[in-house]
Structures are given as structure tokens and as C-alpha cells.
A and B are shown apart, each in its own frame.
Chain A
Amino acid sequence: MIRITCPYCGPRDHDEFSYAGDATRTRPADPETATAEDWHRYVYLRDNPRGPHLEYWHHVQGCRAYVKVLRDTATHEVLATGLPRDDLETAR
């Protein structure tokens, strides 16, 4: 079991959460000027690193907040957690 520290609920088992994927992709700010390639990158392309990975977990069985998690994909170790707006890599 992976333990994820929810900023509101504290440490919880990962099966209370629904995985919401890569947290490094941001939606093109202005759809009017975004190109097809911008959308392609946002919707489909992923770094998919082996090692620290920034991702969202939805605490769907708890407070229902989205939690940002920095987790190692090779060891499953959770390195940092926070709110979606937090910069976990710098904080660490």
C-alpha cells in the first residue's frame, strides 16, 4: 500500500484515492491562439519518467480534493505531497 499525505486529511492509504495522472501538463492558456500541436502535446504526450513523477491523486473516498504528489515510479516512494498549486520539487 502506498501512503499519501492528503493536505486536509493527513496520511491515508492510496486505495482511498483515484489516480489522476501527470501533473506537469497544463492546458493551453488561450484556446484561440493554441495550435493543434499545442493540444497534441497537452492531451497526448507524456514524459513518463522512471524516478520522481509529479502527479495528481483525487481523494475520492475522503475529502474529494485533488492532491499533488511527487512519487518515485521505480520504488513507489512518496517524496512530497501538497495542494495542486504547490511547487513540490522546489519545496523539496
Chain B
Amino acid sequence: MAEYSILSLVRNALGGHKGWIRAWRDPEPKPRYDVIIVGGGGHGLATAYYLARNHGITNVAVLEKGYIGGGNVGRNTTIVRSNYLLDGNSHFYEHSLKLWEGLSRELNYNVMFSQRGVLNLAHSDGQMDAYARRGNAMRLNGVDSELLDREGVRRLYPHLDFSDAARFPIHGGLLQPRGGTARHDAVAWGFARGADRLGVDIIQNCEVTGFERSGGRITAVETTRGRIGCGRVGMAVAGNTSRVARMAGLELPIESHVLQAFVTEPLKPLIDGVVTFGAGHFYISQSDKGGLVLGGDIDFYNSYAQRGNLPIVEHVMANGCAMMPNLRRVRVLRSWGGIMDMSMDGSPIISKTPIDNLYLNAGWCYGGFKATPGSGWVFAHTIAEDRPHRFNEPLSLERFSTGHLLDEGGKGPTPKLH
């Protein structure tokens, strides 16, 4: 398959762009694979890619019930960061961020990763203390962070609400300069193409309907395109994890909730990084096309609907206008919903399961997109070696039984709050 390069671009431009071939094949499912990945989202595709690249396992199928890019990998706000407090999360997300830094070259696909900085605003002394603590924890773990005072924030974003009338005055913020955004579709397409080139079969319109079990193992996956035998199964179906896991007889510490996101009409450059509001839940950045990409809270009730409700729309916009009053007259073009796996401690699960050859990748809450390459890396390791990578040892499923929870916010087993 042709490399993407300046030369190929010129050649195809001169040839009227008729020479491009499809980025990945559309194979019929084979009767059996060594590894089946259920779920062709970012994480499933990244897992398949790293199974082939890092572990030499190429007899792999990725089963996707819809089409590549149609699920949560195309429904997020594209933010990438690794600004975590707890060691169990910090090393994992930092590994992921380092993979992002070389991802376009690695995949020969421009994922438009832009390290434009992620700034969390603080609106009280207590919040500044908490950010100082988190920033120091990040630095101790080798992650970049900068604590900014009010003037430091004002230099970066003078159009935030610094007026005397601000309901929540800005005290400062915690900046991770290496954080940023990426083009979410390109990440899915890049990993799909990369995995396909290494021999992985990407099978779309193929929904898993059941698992065939023998003893403690899964011997085949039943799908809408027939029965497919398997050596090992990796599940990466965030949003629908509980449903697919139930087919295998597992009950999990997860609730599904709907999270909405929004894009405004395109504007001239207004926000050159990612800014999050500290007095409510709101995050915003500007896409390369000029649209402001923004979001806030989940809808706070269990949902599989992929569409949200108006009170949260109002809530998100109110947060945004409190932080950046100049948003008031901007028109929202589109909004959509994605289904989040809200885990019981707010951290993900990348783990072996009670079933010998079934592996679980789930529980991403709001934050799965930034983890895409790191998640694929350690999940591939977990499947290939039948034991977790050191970066996902703390993300085990057993932690809910043993009490070794990773609760960044200290919010307890209340999924809607994570």
C-alpha cells in the first residue's frame, strides 16, 4: 500500500486523484483468528495495531457493529492530556501522551496532534492549593506542569472574565503545555490503516451477538456475520461494555451515561489552547476549521440513547458564558451525544477477567480519547502476554474487590460524579 508523502501527493494531484486506493481492506471474516477484538473504536484499532507491531500477532480481527469512526472515537472533544494526580493513572496517561507525540510519523498518517496546552482554571484559594499539589505530583512523575497566577492566565487568555462582576473570579490555573488536541477521525483512520497494513482484518457491520464457551474459555464469537472461532478475545466497547460483558456472564462496576458535546459556527482564531472552567464543568478549544468545540457534564442518568437533554445544554452554555462572556452571541451549529462507560471510581479498567481468554478494556468515563494509543499499547500487551503491562496493573478489575481504587476526585462509588 502506498505511503502517504509529498511525492505521492504530487503524483496523485497530477493524475487527477484517481490513483488513491482505499486505506484499509474490507475482508470477509475468516473462520478463526488468534485474537478477536470486539469493538472497532480508537482503542480496539490501536490494540490490534500494537498486537501486530509490538507482539507479532497478526492473525487478528477487529469486529465493529457499525462503521469505523461512528462511535465514541468520533464523538469526543479531542482533548489530549496527562495531568493526573494519582500514580496509577499518571504513568499510564503519560505513556499515552508520549505515544501521541510520535503518532503521525508512526502511522504515516497526520493525526493533527497539536500540543497547544491544556489549562485548568482555579477560582478559589483552595482550588489553587489543590492544583499546586496536583502540579507537583505531576512533576514528581516526570510530567510537565505550570502553576499560573491570575496574571499568568490573563497573559494567555485575556478575554476570559477578569471583570469585577465575574461570579467566579479567576485566581489562577494549572497548565500542561504538552497537552492539546488531535483530529479524532484521523486517529481512527490512521490506526485502522496501520493495523490493516500489518495484516489485521477490520470487519465492519459485524455485531457480536454472543459468545460460545467451553469450560472457562471462549471458543468462538457469534456475530451477525456468522460464527468466528478465536484464541483470545479483547473487549473494547466502551458505552456498551455491560451489554457485551453480560453475554459472557460478567457483571461489571460500570454504568452507561450520555455525554453531549457541541460545535459552534467557525470563527477567527479565538482560543489557541484548551481551557477548562474550574467553578463548573466546562471545557473548550477551537478546531483548525475555526469552530469552537465544547462540552460539560454528562446528563446524570443512565442512558444508551446517544442523545442528550436540554437542561444540560443550558447548563453547559451557562458555564461557558460565565467563563468567557464573549461566547454569548456565538451560534452553536451541532450537538451530539456519546455513551460513556462511567466506572465506579472514575478510572478505566484494562484487565484480565475471570474468564481465562477474555480481556477487558472499559470504564473510560469522559476520558477515553486521550488514552487511545496508550490503551492500545498496554491492552495489546495484556492480551499477548496474558498479564498486564506495568502501566495497567493498577487499572485491574479486581481493584473493586480488593479496595485499591483509583478515585482522582475522591467522589466515591457514584458514577455520575466521575
Interface residue ranges, A against B (CB under 8 Å): 1-2, 13-15, 18-19, 21-22, 36-37, 40-41, 43-50, 53, 55, 71, 73-76
Question: Can you list, as one digit per residue, whether each of B51-70 has a CB less than 8 Å from chain A (1) or not (0)?
Answer: 00000000000000000000
Partner of A47, one of B251, B300, B401: B251
Q: Contact at A73–B302, with CB atoms within 8 Å?
A: yes
Say if the beta carbon of B252 comes within 8 Å of chain A: yes
Q: Tell me the complex Cα distance, A81–B259, Å.
A: 25
Which chain B residues lie closer than 8 Å to A47 at the CB level? 242, 246, 251
Given known A-B contacts A1-B309, A1-B310, A44 and B304 have beta carbons under 8 A apart: no
Partner of B416, one of A13, A19, A50: A19
Which chain A residues lie closer than 8 Å to B196 at the CB level? none
Within 302-324 of B, Cβ neighbours of A (below 8 Å) are at: 302-305, 309-311
Say if the beta carbon of B400 comes within 8 Å of chain A: yes
Say if the beta carbon of B201 comes within 8 Å of chain A: no
Which chain A residues lie closer than 8 Å to B413 at the CB level? 43-44
Q: Contact at A45–B251, with CB atoms within 8 Å?
A: yes
Q: Tell me the complex Cα distance, A74–B401, Å.
A: 30
In whole Å, how far is A66's beta carbon from the nearest beta carbon of chain B?
Answer: 15
Given known A-B contacts A1-B309, A50-B243, A22 and B303 have beta carbons under 8 A apart: no
Q: Tell me the complex Cα distance, A76–B311, Å.
A: 14
Q: Contact at A53–B251, with CB atoms within 8 Å?
A: no
Say if the beta carbon of B301 comes within 8 Å of chain A: yes
Interface residue ranges, B against A (CB under 8 Å): 240, 242-243, 246, 251-256, 300-305, 309-311, 344, 400-401, 413-416
Which chain B residues lie closer than 8 Å to A75 at the CB level? 305
In whole Å, how far is B240's beta carbon from the nearest beta carbon of chain A?
Answer: 8
Name the residue of chain B whose CB is nearest to the CB of A57: B301
Q: Contact at B255–A22, with CB atoms within 8 Å?
A: yes
Q: Contact at A74–B309, with CB atoms within 8 Å?
A: no
Given known A-B contacts A21-B414, A44-B344, A73 and B305 have beta carbons under 8 A apart: yes
What are the 7 A-B residue pairs with the smallest beta carbon separation, nearest first? A48-B242, A44-B253, A15-B311, A50-B304, A19-B301, A44-B400, A44-B344
Which chain B residues lie closer than 8 Å to A41 at the CB level? 251
Given known A-B contacts A1-B310, A43-B413, A47-B251, A73 and B401 have beta carbons under 8 A apart: no
Q: Tell me the complex Cα distance, A53–B255, Å.
A: 11
Q: Contact at A55–B301, with CB atoms within 8 Å?
A: yes
In whole Å, how far is B412's beta carbon from the nearest beta carbon of chain A?
Answer: 9
Q: Tell me the complex Cα distance, A48–B253, Å.
A: 9
Q: Tell me the complex Cα distance, A53–B304, Å.
A: 11
Partner of A46, one of B253, B300, B310, B311: B253
In whole Å, how far is A47's beta carbon from the nearest beta carbon of chain B?
Answer: 7
Q: Tell me the complex Cα distance, A41–B251, Å.
A: 9
Which chain B residues lie closer than 8 Å to A48 at the CB level? 242-243, 252, 254-256, 302
In whole Å, how far is B109's beta carbon from the nearest beta carbon of chain A?
Answer: 34
Which chain A residues lie closer than 8 Å to B415 at the CB level? 21
Given known A-B contacts A46-B255, A47-B251, A55 and B302 have beta carbons under 8 A apart: yes
Q: Contact at A46–B304, with CB atoms within 8 Å?
A: no
Q: Contact at B242–A14, with CB atoms within 8 Å?
A: no
Q: Contact at B400–A40, with CB atoms within 8 Å?
A: yes
Name the residue of chain A whose CB is nearest to the CB of B243: A50
Q: Tell me the complex Cα distance, A21–B413, Å.
A: 11
Q: List 17 A-B contacts (CB under 8 A).
A: A2-B309, A18-B300, A21-B255, A21-B415, A22-B255, A44-B253, A44-B344, A45-B251, A45-B252, A45-B400, A46-B251, A47-B251, A48-B242, A48-B254, A50-B243, A55-B301, A55-B302
In whole Å, how far is A54's beta carbon from the nearest beta carbon of chain B?
Answer: 10
Q: Tell me the complex Cα distance, A47–B256, Å.
A: 10
Q: Contact at A74–B305, with CB atoms within 8 Å?
A: yes
Which chain B residues lie closer than 8 Å to A46 at the CB level? 242, 251-255
Q: Contact at A1–B304, with CB atoms within 8 Å?
A: no
Which chain A residues lie closer than 8 Å to B310 at the CB level? 1
Q: Tell me the complex Cα distance, A44–B303, Å.
A: 18
Which of B302, B303, B413, B414 counts the most chain A CB atoms within 10 A? B302
In whole Å, how far is A45's beta carbon from the nearest beta carbon of chain B?
Answer: 5
Q: Contact at B304–A74, with CB atoms within 8 Å?
A: yes
Which chain A residues lie closer than 8 Å to B309 at the CB level? 1-2, 14, 76
Q: Tell me the complex Cα distance, A73–B305, Å.
A: 7
Known pairs A47-B251, A48-B252, A76-B303 / 6 extra A-B pairs, C-beta < 8 Å: A1-B309, A14-B301, A22-B302, A41-B251, A44-B413, A50-B240
Name the residue of chain A whose CB is nearest to the CB of B306: A74
